[in-house]
Structure formats: C-alpha cells, structure tokens
C-alpha cells in the first residue's frame, strides 16, 4: 500500500470513528425538550390548588344562604374539611414532585429534590389515600423518586422512570379527577340550589320594587361567580385527563422516547395543557 493510499484510508477511518462518536453522543443525550415541556407544565398545573381552597371555604359561603340555626353545623363541616386540607393537597404534591423529576431527567439533569421528598415522605406517613390502591400508589411513586435521587439518575433512565411509575401515577391522577368532579362539583351544585332558593325567597317576601331589582342583580352576580367556578372545575378535570393521556403515550413509546412523531404529539399535549391552565387562572 502506498503512502497516499494509507493516508486516505486513515482519513476514512477517522471520519467513520467520528461519526460513530457523534452518533453515540446523540443517542446518549437526545433532545427531549418536548417531554421536558410536558412535564414542567404538568408540574405547574399541580401547583394550582385554588379548587381546594374553594372546597374548604364552601361551608363559610353557605352561611349567606342558610338560617342561623344551621351555622353551627356548617362550622363543624368547615373544621372537618380544614382537617383534611393536607390530605387533599397530597395528590397535588405527589404529581408535582414526580413531574418535576421527569422534566429534569428529560433535560439530562441530576434530580436533587431530597428536601421535597423528605417532606413528602413525612406527609405520606400521616395521610393515606381514599382507598388501598391509591395509598399503595403514593408509596410506589415516593419510593421510585427516592431511588432516582439517591442513585443520581439521568436521561438514560427516563424510560425506567416512566415504566415503573405509569400505573401508580395514573391511579393518583384518576383519584384526583374523581375528587374534583364529584366532591368539588357536588359542592357547586348544592351551592347553586342554595343561591336560587335564598334569593327566590327574599324576592317573594319583598314588596319594594327597588329591593326586588337589587336582589335580582345580586342573584345574577352570585350565579355568575358560581358559573366561573364550575367552568374552572371542568377545565381542570380536562387538564388532568390530558396529563394522564400524555403520560400513557410516553409509557407506550417508552423504548423509543426520541421518536419524532411521539415528541410532536407530546409537544402538542404540552401546548394544550398550558392553554387550559392559562384559561383556568383567568377565571
């Protein structure tokens, strides 16, 4: 082999090795910004706890529409609900911590949330889920996140996180949606009946046309406020569904998270979540 041929062969080998090196680097740290965006907006949505505040305040709002002899009963209800506040917020905290961790892994960052996990673990020792399945789901997610932090997981372990966490996180999202739709939604329905009965009675008892008109206006204001709360409730339930759907897509495609079509779908899911959350916060 001539010196010239040897030089050409060496250059080809060098180019080939460089190509393999670049390929290895790209596979080791793929551009998963879409997953990062989805996880971050999901975490941000879990921080939205205004619906819990409205649920806690329901007994106090009811005092406007109920006779004085029912106020003691409403005070008892208010205290019972306040005692459940930490338990109600626990689902939000689990979802938030999980999604923040997923976003950091997608960005190939080391997850450092030891303080948050310690607080979450303490809360889990005090509060259980609404059923044994949910309680087990809480424990599984907390255990996975603890291992993630202690072992210094990175992007290459994102598949493992999604694989291990899909079942419990779906359980927690489903439970939260049920509480939002049934528990919080039931309050708004009862409040709607109370508003209608309260103002209907006052208007019927009044002989003053000006007073009747003023009462009718106040009724419209209360009903409009309640309609806003109902709209926010429905939007939040939809948001939880979309988080669950997005995570399920990631689970189905977990062995190929860099798939272009998947990332396009997840990016669209992130946009829809952001639009929903922006709408909810404006209501």
Query: Per-residue pLDDT tens for 113-147?
Result: 778 888 888 888 888 888 899 999 999 999 999 99
The token pair that represents 23 in the structure block? 């390929």
Predicted local confidence at residue 153, as pLDDT:
94
In this structure, what are the phi and psi dihedrals at residue 176, rounded to the nearest 5 degrees?
Answer: -65, -40
- 54: pLDDT strictly greater than 70: yes
Higher pLDDT, residue 155 or 113: 155
Predicted local confidence at residue 113, as pLDDT:
78
Higher pLDDT, residue 122 or 7: 122
Predicted local confidence at residue 18, as pLDDT:
44
* Under 8 Å between Cβ of 45 and 241: no
* Structure confidence at residue 221 as a pLDDT band (50, 70, 90): very high
Mean pLDDT along residues 97-126: 89
Predicted local confidence at residue 17, as pLDDT:
44
Predicted local confidence at residue 181, as pLDDT:
93
Residue identified by tokens 């995570």 is 247
Predicted local confidence at residue 115, as pLDDT:
81
- 7: pLDDT strictly greater than 80: no
Q: How far is CA 86 from CA 25, 99, 129, 190, 259, in A?
A: 44, 20, 11, 24, 39
- 6: pLDDT strictly greater than 50: no
Higher pLDDT, residue 153 or 123: 153
Predicted local confidence at residue 240, as pLDDT:
98
Mean pLDDT over the full length of the chain: 89
Beta carbons within 10 angstroms of residue 25's beta carbon: 9
Q: How far is CA 52 from the centre of its chain?
A: 13
The token pair that represents 43 in the structure block? 């975490």
Predicted local confidence at residue 24, as pLDDT:
39
| Crossing angle between the packed helical segments 209-252 and 33-46, to the nearest 10 degrees | 140
Q: Buried b vs exposed e over 60-82: b needs ≥16 C-beta within 10 Å? A: ebbeebbeeeeeeebeeebeebe
Predicted local confidence at residue 283, as pLDDT:
84
Mean pLDDT along residues 21-39: 71
- 212: pLDDT strictly greater than 60: yes
| Crossing angle between the packed helical segments 33-46 and 85-106, to the nearest 10 degrees | 170
* Under 8 Å between Cβ of 185 and 53: no
């Amino acid at each position: 082999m001539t010196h010239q041929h040897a030089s050409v062969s060496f250059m080809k080998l060098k180019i080939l090795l460089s190509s393999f090196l670049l390929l290895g680097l790209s596979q080791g740290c793929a551009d998963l910004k879409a997953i990062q965006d989805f996880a971050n907006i999901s975490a941000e949505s879990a921080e939205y706890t205004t619906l819990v505040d409205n649920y806690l305040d329901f007994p106090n709002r009811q005092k406007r529409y109920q006779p004085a002899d029912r106020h003691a009963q409403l005070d008892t209800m208010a205290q019972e609900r306040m005692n459940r506040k930490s338990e109600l917020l626990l689902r939000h905290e689990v979802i938030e911590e999980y999604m923040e961790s997923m976003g950091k892994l997608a960005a190939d960052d080391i997850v450092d949330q030891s303080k948050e996990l310690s607080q979450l673990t303490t809360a889990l020792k005090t509060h259980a889920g609404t059923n044994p399945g949910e309680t087990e789901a809480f424990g599984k997610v907390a255990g996975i996140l603890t291992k993630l932090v202690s072992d210094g997981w990175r992007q290459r372990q994102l598949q493992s996180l999604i694989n291990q966490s899909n079942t419990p996180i779906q359980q927690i999202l489903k439970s939260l949606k049920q509480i939002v739709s049934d528990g919080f939604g039931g309050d708004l329905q009862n409040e709607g009946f109370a508003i209608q009965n309260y103002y209907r009675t006052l208007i019927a008892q009044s002989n003053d046309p000006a007073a009747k008109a003023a009462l009718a206006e106040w009724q419209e204001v209360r009903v409009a406020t309640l309609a806003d709360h109902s709209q926010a409730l429905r939007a939040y339930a939809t948001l939880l569904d979309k988080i669950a759907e997005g995570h399920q897509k990631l689970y189905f495609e977990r062995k190929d998270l860099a798939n272009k079509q998947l990332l396009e779908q997840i990016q669209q899911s992130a946009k829809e979540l952001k639009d929903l959350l922006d709408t909810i916060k404006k209501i």
